Structure 1
Amino acid sequence: MANVKCNHCHLEFDEKVMIKEGDLNFCCKGCQGVFHILKDDGLDSFYEKLGNKTIAPPIETNDDIERFDTKSFEDTFIKTTNDGYRQIDLIIEGIHCAACVWLNEKVLFETDGIISADINFTNNKAKIIWDEEKIKLSEIILKIRSIGYNAYAYDATVADEQAVKAKRDYFIRMMVAVFASVNIMMLGVAKYTGFFTGIDDEIKEYIHLGEFIFSTPVLFYSGWIFFRGAYFGLKNRILNMDFLVSSGATFTYIYSLFILFGGKGESYFDSVTMIITFVLVGKYLEVIGKKSAVDTLDKIKSSIPLEATVVEDGIKKAIALDNIKVGDVVEIRSGEKVCIDGKIISGEGTFDESSLTGESLPIFKKQGDVLYSGTINNDSLIRYEVTKTYKDSTLNSIVTLLEDSLSSKPEIEYKANEISKGFTLTIISLSILTFIVWYFFGIDLGFDYDNTNHFEKSFIVAISVIVIACPCALALATPIASLIGISELAKKGLLFKEAKFIETMAKADTLVMDKTGTITKGELKVKKARILDNNIHKLNLMYSLLDSSTHPISKSVKKYLANKYSNLELKNIYDVKSVQAKGVVGKYKNIEDKTFHLLGGNIELLKENRINYNFDSSSSVYIFAINRKVIATFELEDEIREDAKDLIDSIKQSGLNIVMLTGDNESVAKKVAAKVGIKSVISGIDPIGKANYIKKLKSEGKTVVMAGDGINDSVALASSDLSIAMGNSADITISVSDIVLLNSSLSSLKYAFIISKRTYKFIKQNLLLSLIYNSITIPLAMAGYVIPLVAALSMSLSSLLVVANSMRIKLKN
């Protein structure tokens, strides 16, 4: 077979492997793909410039693309949302600034079939939701690759390795720039000293040559990331911050080359070097600042072991967490961490749950009790049965929640992005206008460069306008503050499902609180009991009905009976039904097939079933009746949380209105409200009534935050602008709420308002600083008072100022 020439790379290849397409011949799919990309983008004139020269064929980057659509990949990495869409977490390689994030999000948003795409600037993690009927995951990956980035499924270990690699590359580029800058500064000392003491033209030419040698690697190696970002921005019709940096440095470099090779005037190779160096150093310090903010997330991640000891047929094996299944038996020794949620089947001992709840005292666990991932076994050998997979375990859910919150954006950030969209185009226009005014009208406001000609002055002033403008500070204003705020909230035991909830909480004017389990401990104790009939059979029926309910009152009465009577037995009751905010009813048949109608709850339940019984009490009550006859009454009281009064006082001082909603009777509700200082009390209300009350507040223009137990109050929580689930147990109801309290301390809720308000305040400060910076420095540059070197330094300092200001969120917390 004869050799033929490839229409792309012009290399000869064996006809046996040829890819034929009409009159076109390609040696590989890579050449074929690039040929069509260039043609579709109107860049096929490249082949005219190439002439008869040959080039290396492209490296195949899509040979693994089909694996993204395989079943095994789907089972491992892809989730299904409540709306039936597909969701995946990806790591996007090549992101180095907020503009890169914006570029990727813009391209993905405009892709048909993609519902949402949120990228976390701190770790380059993208959460993408798409409609599988319109687009495949492999097509999304190819879209990302087409704009110069790469993407792969998020894996914590691989992501860390890539982050270290990227940071090392960034550091090397920065150090090359710093080394060259130091040497250029030394040459600059000689050059500028010569202006005052006299310098030969030949020596000055050698100095220009030295500056050229040092500035070239800085521009084309250290500054490569800016050229790359600018190229892909232009390819997608976007003018970004990289375009400002690269164009400013390039124009200055070209002008300096003109001076080096015989033109009149002064070269500005030193400005080229400093522009790249200052921006690189600023961005590197920016990365360091962001890293300190995500230390909390890293600390939580480190609490998860990599493998666990599984016992199977008496044999112990160390198995990776992803391979452990529900039903496996795991063994943990003293001092080891629980890796996956489960239930104890052998042994008992104390556990340190501070990583979840913040509670410093150890919790005693026995057979049948639930263990949560991330907690530590203090003192004994325990075996437990796994009840959740690693992906669904408590601590992994918390880590996922934190990462998702860091990738989401507050509403104010979307507004800032809208402002910044036309920023670069505006700056380029102002720069061109500045050059025209200076060059053609000869405006001079008093600033003068020594030994400069008219064109040079106009050119340098225009370059300064490009370099000094900083869209990066505007882009950083919200995400860096949100990141630090989310991290600080996590330290206080608060998990925000999305960063946008910081803004909602900061703007809230009404706090609605459930009573039981929120203001009170939710640990009701029987203070007074009247057993009207001590028949053991009737007591067994009461005990069985109590056992069928998970309500705190039922649990407390059941515990009281178990302690008082040692011989109680559970009976098989049926037709058990919960009556919202009132109690439980059920039935029992004895061996004689006689039916007993059982009822247990408050006085409202008795009235509903036409049982006349007078019982007044200022406490919570539980009344048990069989066949419409009252057998026993119980009066219970719930202890108020120690920090409830402190929270209420703090909320009042911040100007929020506080309302207590409860299904309990009026006297109990008012008694609790009086102790903690709440004036607005709505009592005797069922869950639907709570939700309707919150809707009424919202219709009046109120921004409502509700705190409840996350289960019984789910309807009301869903109706509020912001819902908070109290962490009364470690089995956190993440799906119910917008914010989760990992502990039962109301101090955490107090800090939620304090830190949210501080974070939102600093976001607005950052935006104001960015706008003030640009509104002052750009006119100064246009007037000719700023040279490019100072402009580059000023640009970097503006970004660092935003980062430093955001770090102040950590103060007083």
Structure 2
Amino acid sequence: MGKVQCNHCHLSFDDGVMIKEGDLNFCCKGCQGVYHLLKDDGLESFYDKLGNKTISPPIEINDDVQRFDTKSFEDTFITETNNGFKQIDLIIEGIHCAACVWLNEKVLYETPGIISADINFTNNKAKIIWDNEKINLSDIILKIRSIGYNAYAYDASVADEQAVKSKREYFIRMMVAVFASMNIMMLAVAKYTGFFTGIDEQIRNYIHIAEFILATPVLFYSGWIFFRGAYFGLKNKILNMDFLVSSGASLTYIYSLFVMFGAKGESYFDSVVMIITFVLVGKYLEVIGKKSAVDTLDKIKSSIPLEATIVEDGVKKTVALNNIKVGDTIEIRSGEKVCIDGVITSGEGSFDESSLTGESIPVFKKMGDNIFSGTINNDSLIRYEATKTYKDSTLSSIVTLLEESLSSKPEIEYKANEVSKGFTVSILTLSLLTFLVWYFFGIDLGFDYEGTNHFEKSFIVAISVIVIACPCALALATPIASLIGISELAKKGLLFKEAKFIETLAKADTLVLDKTGTITKGELKVKRAKIKDENIHKLNLLYSLLEASNHPISKSVKKYLEAKYDNLQLKNIYGVKNIQAKGMIGKYENVEGKTFHLLGGNIELLKDNKINYKFDSSNSVYIFAINRRVIATFELADEIKEDAKELISYAKANDINVVMLTGDNEDVAKKVASKVGIDNFVANVDPIGKAKYIKKLKEEGKIVIMAGDGINDSVALASSDISVAMGNSADITISVSDVVLLNNSLQSLKEAFEISKRTFKFIKQNLLLSLVYNMITIPLAMAGFVIPLVAAASMSLSSLLVVANSMRIKMKK
């Protein structure tokens, strides 16, 4: 027994306990793990610095999993949910089909301490939420590894690199199979021709040997992914689609070996090759189909710059987006993209917002206006103050929402997964029964396999049953359609936070709409104004109170004052409080210490504050009072959105009941409702009243969609089955909403209904196709009408049929 040196710690040890890896020698798994960790992180220069020195070997742990529990790792990759649970995005390596996703999710969901585990079928990204008091992240990683997959923290650049690597490896395996299948089919032509016309026994044996040489690498190299998936499925007591493919191909291969070595019958090496090839080609085409569906997400991601120019004390410097803080001054030149949301502090110009809203006409922005990440500065030098961090900015939030929506699943998919759970066991049982019936009873309803013995005939029919069954089509039916639906919705400026909302929207029977900013443009214009006291000091107080509000009425009155008076100034008012659906109150103290009580809003706000003032109008009203004395009144009217009537007509034509909820007065509500064709409306309702109305509809069994744009709508939105926020909504409204209309267009909401209904229809079609396929082909195989080669082609065809049918979602009627 000799001495060797460890490639990591440089200590000498007996070669009897050596861990050898090619030319490398390690004294323990710890050294081996650290060596690869340094190599993977590009830190091999450590060994140059170490020279001939020795170091203590690391404490032996299970590879590198303990790093997942470190504080630095948590700060970088782990977030905390509202419920106090931990959440992380992982990339899971080794997933090659929908069945792999199902296997990982099943194992993770059954692990104590894991709250949820949703895997994105398109990019293998897993969103995992767990209770850190019951399980550590390292234990979750070990669980994933135990079933034959690997996991690491999600990083967009690394994920793309891994995806390219995986696709390349997959392609090589497929091409090996394609090359072998092309050659083996030429041999098969000679063999089957000789079968009918006569062939020398020695030539026949040579053909068997040649087929064996071609089939072996296809089965054990190209088909390795199926064996691997089947092994880890069995290890976790799960029979999956990989088991069907690998068992069918293996049994056929073993039987053909017996024939090659002298047993009576015909070899089926060609069927082995074609089974693997057809399924691999089908899977590769699935990947291509999925890639075309996520192009929208890739396009949006490419709109995000990697760094920005900030100005500090007059000095410009380039920094990474993650390092930009709220309040930093950012400079963008003509043609550059806005990287983080902010407010313009210097300069003015037009901005291309088509990446967010789909609107091709540039929007002019000046000092004080908000600009959003992803938009393009067309024509001037602009400086602006960051109002959000990179993570919270508009475009980053859109990407996050899209990725999360692609990870989520509609309710119908969970039902489909339940159906597919016992599928493999059922197929194997049917295959065994088929063999027994054919072998012992001699039932033959199919083709006459002339020249084959009774066992061979029974065996081939049973194999055909295994190969032709396709649980993958059933598992693929919902995610591929949902993926394409989400992608199409995103192109229309519609962000769905979860894919399951497609199903809910398709089934909805009630649409509740806010008035101001939803049915109307929210751009109220002052039609009549009565200012009783034009003292500039009092007008400044009115102007300051209006500045503190984000409500469309306040904005319009402020705009009116700015157009009429040139010398308005903002005063330092305090104690500002928003009274939902009524207005705002505040206070101002002058230099002499005198306090002025300010009030601005509708007539209901005056009544609440015991101010006796009569004012009748069919328009929206804003009344301003100082110390209980009315100073000014404004009557405002809003314009109705051009596409509102079209949405209402569509809803009625599709048996969707439309209700308008508004805090405005009865006359205004009636006028708007009649113009757009709404029969049911509720006026003078506060935010709590809106929420109660929504809950009442739900108690009646209605599936309710609520669309709104103001803070006063947030409670009602949270109460509905699906909440829809307009793109110009307040942040709190967007945060509680399930769907965001980026372009504020009701035409988009109509398209949301159309695409959701179309997507849900195609999901049901896909499920029907996969079920009908299995109901027809499995009995045919059991009856002996299908040979394994045709069965393999049919199985792949069923998956491709589902993908092709889902692509039709993109086609308009």
TM-score (norm 1): 0.92
Instruction: Tell me the CA shift for residue 536 of structure 1.
Output: 2.8
Moved more, 591-600 or 241-250: 591-600
Q: Which residue of 2 aligns with 1:801?
A: 801
Q: Which residue of 2 aligns with 1:784?
A: 784
Provide structure 1 residue ranges, at least 5 long, that are not aligned to the other structure.
Answer: 5-11, 20-25, 34-59
Number of matched residues?
774
Q: 1:753 to 1:730 in 2, by over 3 A?
A: same
The whole-number CA distance in structure 1 between the counterparts of 2:107 and 2:233 is: 10
What is the identity, as a one-letter code, of the residue corresponding to 1:789? Answer: L
The whole-number CA distance in structure 1 between the counterparts of 2:282 and 2:571 is: 72
Q: Does 1:668 align with 2:668?
A: yes
Contact 2:517/2:709 (8 A) holds in 1 = yes
What is the identity, as a one-letter code, of the residue corresponding to 2:94? Answer: G
Q: 1:431 to 1:17 in 2, by over 3 A?
A: closer
What is the identity, as a one-letter code, of the residue corresponding to 1:191? Answer: K
The whole-number CA distance in structure 2 between the counterparts of 1:32 and 1:428 is: 42
Instruction: Tell me the CA shift for residue 67 of structure 1.
Output: 2.2
What is the identity, as a one-letter code, of the residue corresponding to 1:385? Answer: E
Contact 1:503/1:756 (8 A) holds in 2 = yes
Per-residue CA deviations over 1:94-126 (Å, capped at 9, x if unaligned) read 000111111111111111111100001110000
Q: Which residue of 1 aligns with 2:331?
A: 331
Q: 1:703 to 1:670 in 2, by over 3 A?
A: same
Instruction: Tell me the CA shift for residue 196 of structure 1.
Output: 2.5
Contact 2:581/2:712 (8 A) holds in 1 = no
Q: Which residue of 2 aligns with 1:381?
A: 381
Q: Does 1:286 align with 2:291?
A: no
For residues 682-697 of structure 1, the aligned pairs below 5 Å read 682-697=682-697
Structure 1 counterpart SS, 2:625: strand
The whole-number CA distance in structure 1 between the counterparts of 2:18 and 2:334 is: 66
For residues 167-178 of structure 1, the aligned pairs below 5 Å read 167-178=167-178
Contact 1:730/1:742 (8 A) holds in 2 = no
The whole-number CA distance in structure 1 between the counterparts of 2:503 and 2:673 is: 29
Q: 1:356 to 1:181 in 2, by over 3 A?
A: same
The whole-number CA distance in structure 2 between the counterparts of 1:735 and 1:771 is: 39
Contact 1:474/1:771 (8 A) holds in 2 = yes
Instruction: Tell me the CA shift for residue 31 of structure 1.
Output: 12
What is the identity, as a one-letter code, of the residue corresponding to 2:622? Answer: Y
Contact 2:663/2:683 (8 A) holds in 1 = yes
Contact 2:29/2:63 (8 A) holds in 1 = no
Contact 2:708/2:724 (8 A) holds in 1 = yes
Q: Which residue of 1 aligns with 2:38?
A: none
Instruction: Tell me the CA shift for residue 314 of structure 1.
Output: 4.1
The whole-number CA distance in structure 2 between the counterparts of 1:626 and 1:274 is: 86
Contact 1:704/1:721 (8 A) holds in 2 = yes
Structure 2 counterpart SS, 1:419: helix
Q: Which residue of 2 aligns with 1:645?
A: 645
Q: Which residue of 2 aligns with 1:193?
A: 193
Contact 1:647/1:746 (8 A) holds in 2 = yes
Instruction: Tell me the CA shift for residue 391 of structure 1.
Output: 1.8
The whole-number CA distance in structure 2 between the counterparts of 1:456 and 1:590 is: 103
Q: Which residue of 2 aligns with 1:307?
A: 307
Q: Which residue of 1 aligns with 2:156?
A: 156
Q: Which residue of 1 aligns with 2:42?
A: none
Contact 2:580/2:712 (8 A) holds in 1 = no
Contact 2:446/2:783 (8 A) holds in 1 = no
Provide structure 2 residue ranges, at least 5 long, that are not aligned to the other structure.
Answer: 5-11, 20-25, 34-59
What is the identity, as a one-letter code, of the residue corresponding to 1:137? Answer: L
Per-residue CA deviations over 1:531-560 (Å, capped at 9, x if unaligned) read 122233332332233233222111211221
Contact 1:598/1:625 (8 A) holds in 2 = yes
Q: Which residue of 1 aligns with 2:215?
A: 215
Contact 1:91/1:152 (8 A) holds in 2 = yes
Contact 1:394/1:732 (8 A) holds in 2 = no
The whole-number CA distance in structure 2 between the counterparts of 1:628 and 1:387 is: 36
Contact 1:543/1:570 (8 A) holds in 2 = yes
For residues 12-161 of structure 1, the aligned pairs below 5 Å read 14=14, 28-29=28-29, 62-161=62-161
Q: Does 1:426 align with 2:426?
A: yes
Instruction: Tell me the CA shift for residue 197 of structure 1.
Output: 1.9
Instruction: Tell me the CA shift for residue 435 of structure 1.
Output: 0.7
Instruction: Tell me the CA shift for residue 27 of structure 1.
Output: 5.7
Instruction: Tell me the CA shift for residue 367 of structure 1.
Output: 2.8
Q: Which residue of 2 aligns with 1:752?
A: 752
Structure 1 counterpart SS, 2:521: coil
Q: Which residue of 1 aligns with 2:636?
A: 636
Structure 2 counterpart SS, 1:330: strand
Instruction: Tell me the CA shift for residue 203 of structure 1.
Output: 1.2
Q: Which residue of 2 aligns with 1:51?
A: none
Q: Does 1:257 align with 2:244?
A: no
Structure 2 counterpart SS, 1:243: helix
Structure 2 counterpart SS, 1:484: helix
Q: Does 1:725 align with 2:725?
A: yes
For residues 349-498 of structure 1, the aligned pairs below 5 Å read 349-498=349-498
The whole-number CA distance in structure 1 between the counterparts of 2:710 and 2:589 is: 36
Q: Which residue of 1 aligns with 2:713?
A: 713
Instruction: Tell me the CA shift for residue 446 of structure 1.
Output: 4.3
What is the identity, as a one-letter code, of the residue corresponding to 1:757? Answer: K
The whole-number CA distance in structure 2 between the counterparts of 1:660 and 1:807 is: 36
The whole-number CA distance in structure 2 between the counterparts of 1:569 and 1:302 is: 43
Instruction: Tell me the CA shift for residue 206 of structure 1.
Output: 1.1
Q: Which residue of 2 aligns with 1:761?
A: 761
What is the identity, as a one-letter code, of the residue corresponding to 1:702? Answer: K
Q: Which residue of 2 aligns with 1:566?
A: 566
Per-residue CA deviations over 1:30-66 (Å, capped at 9, x if unaligned) read 7999xxxxxxxxxxxxxxxxxxxxxxxxxx9954322
Structure 1 counterpart SS, 2:180: helix
What is the identity, as a one-letter code, of the residue corresponding to 1:293? Answer: A
Instruction: Tell me the CA shift for residue 393 of structure 1.
Output: 1.6
The whole-number CA distance in structure 2 between the counterparts of 1:587 and 1:799 is: 68
Instruction: Tell me the CA shift for residue 364 of structure 1.
Output: 2.0
Q: Does 1:585 align with 2:585?
A: yes
Q: Which residue of 1 aligns with 2:47?
A: none
Contact 1:357/1:730 (8 A) holds in 2 = no
The whole-number CA distance in structure 2 between the counterparts of 1:591 and 1:243 is: 84
Instruction: Tell me the CA shift for residue 14 of structure 1.
Output: 2.8
Moved more, 662-671 or 343-352: 343-352
Contact 1:356/1:730 (8 A) holds in 2 = no
Per-residue CA deviations over 1:482-506 (Å, capped at 9, x if unaligned) read 0000000000000100000001101
Contact 2:687/2:712 (8 A) holds in 1 = yes
Q: Does 1:811 align with 2:796?
A: no
Q: Does 1:773 align with 2:773?
A: yes
Instruction: Tell me the CA shift for residue 134 of structure 1.
Output: 1.3
The whole-number CA distance in structure 2 between the counterparts of 1:17 and 1:455 is: 50
Moved more, 358-367 or 431-440: 358-367
Q: 1:160 to 1:243 in 2, by over 3 A?
A: same
Structure 1 counterpart SS, 2:588: strand
What is the identity, as a one-letter code, of the residue corresponding to 2:751? Answer: Y
The whole-number CA distance in structure 2 between the counterparts of 1:591 and 1:489 is: 56
Q: Does 1:619 align with 2:594?
A: no
The whole-number CA distance in structure 2 between the counterparts of 1:319 and 1:445 is: 74
Q: Which residue of 1 aligns with 2:44?
A: none
The whole-number CA distance in structure 1 between the counterparts of 2:74 and 2:106 is: 25
Moved more, 560-569 or 757-766: 560-569
The whole-number CA distance in structure 2 between the counterparts of 1:139 and 1:247 is: 32
Per-residue CA deviations over 1:743-763 (Å, capped at 9, x if unaligned) read 111111011000000000110
TM-score (norm 2): 0.92
Moved more, 573-582 or 445-454: 573-582
Q: Which residue of 1 aligns with 2:57?
A: none
Instruction: Tell me the CA shift for residue 652 of structure 1.
Output: 1.3
What is the identity, as a one-letter code, of the residue corresponding to 1:176? Answer: V
Structure 2 counterpart SS, 1:723: strand
The whole-number CA distance in structure 2 between the counterparts of 1:16 and 1:259 is: 44
Instruction: Tell me the CA shift for residue 16 of structure 1.
Output: 12
Moved more, 549-558 or 111-120: 549-558
Q: Which residue of 2 aligns with 1:23?
A: none
Q: 1:734 to 1:94 in 2, by over 3 A?
A: farther
The whole-number CA distance in structure 2 between the counterparts of 1:810 and 1:68 is: 41
Q: Which residue of 2 aligns with 1:699?
A: 699
**% identical aligned pairs:** 83
What is the identity, as a one-letter code, of the residue corresponding to 2:780? Answer: L
Per-residue CA deviations over 1:452-471 (Å, capped at 9, x if unaligned) read 00000010010000000000
Moved more, 555-564 or 604-613: 604-613
